[in-house]
Chain A
Amino acid sequence: MNVINDVLSIFTDPLKIAGQSIILIVTYTIVFLIIEAFAPKFKKWADVLFIVVLLLTLGQTVMDSFSLMGQLAGIFSDFFMALYPVLASLLVILNAVFSFVAWSPIIFFIFQALIFLCKNILIPAITISLILDFCTRFIQEMSFSKASDLIRGSVMTLITATLLAMMTVLSFTGVAFFTIDRTIATPAKKVIEQTIPIVGSLIVEGFSIFQKYQSTATTVAGFSAMTAFWLAAFYPAGKLLIHAMTFKFLAAIVEPFTSGSVSGLIDDVGKSLLVLCAVALLLGIAFVFIWLLLMVIMQLGVGKTF
């Protein structure tokens, strides 16, 4: 029973945190309204204090998300590093089936570049945009909102560009027996104009691509193993998505009762977390790709043809 509880807690924990923070913020809003009613002179301070309290209670969630991303990038980088030799040796062995030249190391380069990008550019950029947002709301005379929007927008553009590059290289070198999908190319264009809805469409499009050749891989690994890979790849992204949606929801709840700066701050944090979620999604897609490649190569080794 304990094991089941542990497994279940992985899925219920993010939801619990979401519910907890929603209840907390609603309580804080009520307390602040009471305080304002009885001590109207305190209002100017209360607005600042509201931001401070938000920072104190929700800061933990945000930092958890960031440390989760940091760990994720580290794990994936180690994992890819471990898998490259296996993949490369398999490629050499299966030289008859696939020409080694077609499997140019550019694929490995792309994956490694992806990890590098996430670790050194994307995650710090999102952190900076978060800090800028906070400064904008805290020091109301100075506004950095354009800068943080720019950073978020460019991070999203980088993510789509990387995704497109990954797809292009994979289909170009003949690695994958699927051509570059129009489904992934169209949302890529949309990304640059609208940052937020893309996460949803990325998820949907990503699923539709994998569906195409999932069946071949499933015969090797078995259904349960594939499910495990899927969960491992997209669990962090899902957790971040829940966090981001919680913030969006909170902003919607709090907006009528407090000053615009408070709800704006929560909303901006939600936006940043959504972009972070997109980064996690990108890593997840790369992870699943590596696994699927490995399985396809193994199948080729067994002698199956497509």
Chain B
Amino acid sequence: MTYVFYAVILLLVLMLIKESINKLHGLIAIIFFFILLHFLLSMMIIPFIEQLLSYVHSVPYVPQLVYSALFYQLGSLFHKIFEEEEYEAIGEMVMIAIRIVLLAYWTAEVAKVLSNFSSILQKLQ
């Protein structure tokens, strides 16, 4: 709940800034975004992920999965911020970079199994 109060207070401050010093508004909005993101990560997301992973710590691939979901979500947040400042192309590039990173990671994981599979295929020949 603390987080919601923080967000509401920052929203009020932002609206005030928009009225009074419109030129700096965009800059301050981005700064506030990162402050809120920091609070969100440190207060809620990371503890939640740790709690979740402590239940399933022996199950393979769950940490990777959860962190790739988090990664993707952060990427789409950055995408939104770039879109807000009307830099759609850069936002799109961020998304592409994140997709490539995720794909590269998971392809490397699958490659191990696929190489085993192809070795079995060779044995059968």
Give A contacts to B, CB under 8 Å.
Answer: 24, 27-28, 31-32, 34-35, 38-39, 41-42, 45-46, 49, 52-53, 55-57, 59-60, 63, 66-67, 70, 119, 123-124, 127
Contact = CB atoms under 8 A, between A and B. Distances in A.
Interface in B86-125: 102, 106, 109-110, 113, 116-117, 120-121, 123-125
Contacts of A53: 61, 65
A24 B65 contact: no
A55 B113 contact: yes
A39 B73 contact: yes
A66 B76 CA distance: 42
A271 to B, nearest CB: 18
Interface of B: 52, 56, 59-62, 65-66, 68-70, 72-73, 76, 102, 106, 109-110, 113, 116-117, 120-121, 123-125
B61 A56 contact: yes
Nearest to A53: B61
A45 B72 contact: yes
Give the most central of A42, A66, A70, A123: most B CB within 10 Å.
A42
Given A27-B59, A28-B59, A49-B106, 7 more contacts: A28-B62, A31-B59, A42-B69, A45-B102, A60-B116, A63-B117, A66-B120
Contacts of A63: 113, 116-117, 120
Contacts of B110: 52, 55-56
A39 B69 contact: yes
Main secondary structure of the interface of B (DSSP, over half): helix
B102 A127 contact: no
A124 B124 contact: yes
Nearest to B102: A45
A56 B62 contact: no
A31 B102 contact: no
Given A39-B73, A66-B120, A49 B60 contact: no
Nearest to B52: A34
A24 B124 contact: no
Contact of B120 (A41, A56, A70): A70
A31 B51 CA distance: 12
A123 B124 contact: yes
Given A39-B73, A56-B110, A59-B113, A31 B66 contact: yes
A57 B124 contact: no
A35 B61 contact: no
Contacts of B60: 24, 56-57
A38 B76 CA distance: 13
Contacts of B123: 67, 70
A115 to B, nearest CB: 13
27 contacts: A31-B65, A38-B73, A39-B69, A39-B70, A39-B73, A42-B69, A42-B72, A42-B73, A49-B106, A52-B109, A52-B110, A55-B113, A56-B60, A56-B110, A56-B113, A57-B61, A59-B116, A60-B113, A60-B116, A63-B113, A63-B117, A63-B120, A66-B120, A66-B124, A67-B120, A70-B123, A70-B124
A126 to B, nearest CB: 10
Nearest to B123: A70
Nearest to B109: A56
A173 to B, nearest CB: 32
B117 A24 contact: no
Contact of A41 (B66, B68, B73): B73
A32 B117 CA distance: 26
